[in-house]
Chains A and B, each alone.
Chain A
Amino acid sequence: MKKRHEQKLIVLSLALFFLFNIPFVLIFNFEGAIFGFPTFYFSIFSIWLLSVIISGIVLKRHYE
């Protein structure tokens, strides 16, 4: 795997760290529900799923 593709995953990890922590996590910090999931959980789960998809794509394309 080339260095710049590895860097994509590192950036993803950093982005996750910031998104999952204050102050960013406070964006979704209110009552309410989407599809029955409380908003806070829903946002965390969606970011989580998104990160799985992104890292899956990066690895599928660039891992050799």
Chain B
Amino acid sequence: MSNYVIIIIILTYLAVLFFIAFLAERKKKSKWVNNPYVYTLSLAVYCSAWTYYGSIGIAANTGIDFLPIYLGPVIAAPLWIIVLRKVIRISNQNKISSIADFISLRYGNNRFLGALVTVVCLFGTIPYISLQLKAVSETFEIMSDNTSYILTNTFHDSTFYVALILAIFATFFGTQNADASEKHTGIIATVAFESVLKLVFFLVIGIYITFYLFDGTTDIYNQIATIDNLKELTTLSGLEDGFNWLFMISLSFMAIFLLPRQFQVSVLENNREKYLKKAIWLFPLYLLVFNIFVIFIAYGPVK
């Protein structure tokens, strides 16, 4: 595809996102943006753009290790009925505006602690964001004709402009109110919309590979059953692997509570506690559907 076509597609997509955010911001009280489904879909910000490359890459190269990232949240979800409900209540009563705010509140509004948490979050988030942008730029590279181009200047990098537009988006819709603990309906609506798109595209690709390029799941399995390292890809290889697996699960278990963006969508943007009734079972279901085709997308090209 020509670069210009891709740039036009990207711009149209971003315009749609702006439009949705704008609409949601105007109709703040509408049922379309205030329901448990939008809340659950906004939680799905957990699966980032990198999921496409990360999950499938890991599934193809090292096997089962992509699963623990999602098993932690699955274990955590039933606990939300107590833990998350309490956190939401405390945050609403105290007008909490970030995770640093929340943690420092628990220690008597300790300023130093709040600042420390903010700095840790900042340094934790920067590589994370860069990974997202890498996903964007790699996709751009795959889609465009001209792949031999060597970057010499930041201003020639398309990802730089994508980052710029996203920054403008976040600043514009994130600062509609002077009060930082106010809900950001516009951003949440776009996140929910993106979560639907992510899932739909993933399923379309999965179904296309599994049932169109191959003859169903059994066919793929039979075709790859001949490769040598299949056992390593589909099982835990021993006690050491089992412990790594445990640590990864523990890590993702904490991530679902403590990732700054996760805290933002699950606690700060929650406007009714009762959304938890749906979110506790729908969110693990979303993750499950998201992961079902990962192995087949990964194995398909191997044969």
Contact = CB atoms under 8 A, between A and B. Distances in A.
Nearest to B215: A36
Contacts of A49: 288
Interface in B78-136: 78-79, 81-82
Contacts of A40: 64, 234-236
A36 B76 contact: no
Contacts, number: 108
Measured as residues with beta carbon below 8 angstroms from the partner, the interface class of chain A is: 35 or more
B231 interface: yes
Contacts of A31: 230-231, 234-235
Interface residues of B, number: 41
B278 to A, nearest CB: 8
What is the predominant secondary structure among interface residues of chain B facing chain A?
A: helix
B217 A36 contact: yes
Interface string B218-257: 1111000100001101111001001101100100000000
Contacts of A63: 274, 277
Contacts of A52: 281, 284-285, 288
Contacts of B79: 9-10, 13
A30 B81 contact: no
A12 B274 CA distance: 20
Given A13-B75, A13-B79, A52-B288, A25 B236 contact: yes
A51 B217 contact: no
B71 interface: yes
Nearest to B236: A29
Most chain B C-beta atoms within 10 Å of own C-beta, residue among A29, A30, A39: A29
B71 A45 contact: no
B229 to A, nearest CB: 12
Given A31-B231, A37-B217, A63-B277, A22 B71 contact: no
Nearest to A9: B78
B295 interface: yes
B259 interface: no
Contacts of B242: 21-23, 25-26
Max count, chain A CB within 10 A of own CB: residue among B64, B74, B246: B74
Contact of B78 (A26, A29, A48, A55): A55
Contacts of B288: 45, 48-49, 52
Interface in A4-24: 6, 9-10, 12-13, 16-17, 20-23
Interface string A28-64: 0111010111111100110011011101100100010
Given A20-B249, A22-B245, A26-B242, A44 B78 contact: no
Contacts of A53: 281
Given A25-B236, A41-B234, A55-B280, A36 B81 contact: no
B295 to A, nearest CB: 6
Contacts of B235: 29-31, 38, 40
Nearest to B79: A13
- Name the 9 nearest CB pairs between A and B, nearest first: A36-B217, A22-B242, A38-B234, A36-B218, A9-B78, A56-B281, A13-B78, A55-B281, A63-B277
5 contacts: A1-B81, A22-B246, A40-B235, A44-B71, A63-B274
Interface of B: 64, 67, 71, 74-79, 81-82, 216-221, 225, 230-231, 233-236, 239, 242-243, 245-246, 249, 274, 277-278, 280-281, 284-285, 288, 291-292, 295
